[in-house]
Amino acid sequence: MYALTNCTIYTTHSVLSDHAVIIKNDQIDSVTLATDLDNSIKTIDLNGANLCPGFIDLQINGCGGVMFNSEISEQTLEIMQATNLKSGCTSYLPTLITSSDEDIKLALKVARNFIDKTKNEILGLHLEGPFISLEKKGVHRAEFVRSPDLDIIDLICANADIVSKVTIAPESFSAEVIQQLHQAGIVVSIGHSNATYAQASEAINNGASFATHLFNAMSPMTGRNTWCRRRNL
């Protein structure tokens, strides 16, 4: 057990000074007034630094001079993790954009090996594609954009313990496949999509619960007058 002292503590609800964070068994045990600390507890002086929960980034394609798609390896993930720590990001989802089946399989293997060796760094993979809209592909390589392949979907679901999120264009998916991903425990995110309101609504009803860079590489809202009436504007 030890206490982190001489710092400004940012919690969900307040900013605290003259307080300390007590760590027990590598977990936060409590936050207390520094004057209430037991004299027997070891203290670590943070010299006035800011102390807050580590940030979590849900989509990092690359950083620190590397791109996950360019070099799918544990070394790439190590470089990305070290770079993230410099800005207070303690955990992240390495993101593989639209790729071949071979690269997806390799990413699954690399991520599993890395996660097995480390704690609380990679929280899972984010597969951004390849099942997206060709019209809204952005920088994704057109030759790898494709309709859902049930074998790959089954493989992704079989690895749901290391795949946290999958970005899809719902207009290319059946309700059953979206439900399959959702029921496996994977966050289904709508992105790089040209879906209509009805198609997006159906996907949400079947388990899609997230949006990847909303309205970027995605069809915009239309029918302003109808939308305003619905919002009573």
- What CATH number is attached to the domain comprising 35? 2.30.40.10
- Assigned token pair, 138: 């952005």
Give the whole-angstrom CA distance, residue 110 versus residue 108.
6
19: region left, alpha or beta (phi > 0 left; psi from -120 to 50 alpha): beta
What are the two backbone dihedrals, phi and then psi, of residue 171, each rounded to the nearest 5 degrees?
Answer: -65, -15
Q: Is residue 222 assigned to a domain? A: no
Concatenated DSSP letters of 32-96: EEGGGS-TTSEEEEEEEEEE-PPEEEEEESEETTEETTT--SHHHHHHHHHHHHTTTEEEEEEEE
Preceding amide of 53 cis, omega within 30: no
Q: Is residue 223 assigned to a domain? A: no
Q: For residues 198 and 128, state if they share a domain.
A: yes
Low-confidence residues of the chain, pLDDT below 70?
222-233
Domain count for the chain: 2
Q: Which amino acid is at 121?
A: E
Q: Is residue 228 assigned to a domain? A: no
Which of 197, 151, 196, 205 is CA-nearest to residue 178? Answer: 205
Q: For residues 127 and 182, state if they share a domain.
A: yes
Q: Is residue 219 assigned to a domain? A: no
Q: For residues 185 and 200, state if they share a domain.
A: yes
Q: Is residue 152 assigned to a domain? A: yes
pLDDT score at 230: 52
What are the two backbone dihedrals, phi and then psi, of residue 113, each rounded to the nearest 5 degrees?
Answer: -60, -40
pLDDT score at 224: 54
pLDDT score at 223: 57
Q: Is residue 120 assigned to a domain? A: yes
- Assigned token pair, 75: 């070394």
Q: For residues 59 and 47, state if they share a domain.
A: no
Point out the domain boundary residue: 28, 51, 74: 51
Domain containing residue 28: 2-51
pLDDT score at 23: 96
Give the whole-angstrom CA distance, residue 221 versus residue 171.
16
Q: Is residue 127 assigned to a domain? A: yes
How would you classify the pairing of strands 27-33 and 42-51?
Answer: unpaired
How would you classify the pairing of strands 125-128 and 19-24?
Answer: unpaired
8 A C-beta contact, residue 29 and residue 20: no
Which residues contact residue 114 at a Cβ distance below 8 angstroms, ignoring those fewer than 6 apart?
74, 77, 78, 121, 122
Which residues sit opposite 119 in a β-bridge?
none
